Amino acid sequence: MVTKDNFFSMNELIELKNTIARFFPVIIILVIWEVVWKLIGLWKSARNKHLGWFIIIAIINSMGVLPIIYILRNRKQKKNNQVS
């Protein structure tokens, strides 16, 4: 049996809508941040033929942390390889 207690009140729904509207720009910025770093990390790992890193970066959503770690870690290796 469905009772009135199972539903949100109108004021609660309005408050929820306002909260979501306040955080929407932050969510959009975080999504763009993640997508940009993920694409850069995927591009560089594919170019360097690092299949393991490619798969990990593609699967795990880390708000750009994994791609940044990959880029910083492999930037030094690339400079060392160009010298020889």
- pLDDT computed for residue 81 by the predictor: 60
Model confidence at 7: pLDDT above 80: no
- pLDDT computed for residue 84 by the predictor: 44
Total number of domains in the chain: 1
* Model confidence band, residue 78 (pLDDT cutoffs 50, 70, 90): low
Contacts 24+ apart (CB under 8 A), 62-69: 62/34, 63/30, 63/33, 63/34, 64/33, 64/34, 64/36, 64/37, 64/38, 66/41, 67/37, 67/38, 67/40, 67/41, 67/42, 68/37, 68/41
Q: Render pLDDT for 47-57 as a digit per residue (tens, 0 to 9).
A: 999 999 999 99
For the whole prediction, is pTM greater than 0.75? no
Q: Provide the strand spans (E) within the chain.
A: none
Q: Render pLDDT for 14-49 as a digit per residue (tens, 0 to 9).
A: 998 999 999 999 999 999 999 999 999 999 999 999
- pLDDT computed for residue 29 by the predictor: 95
Structural domain that includes position 43: 4-83
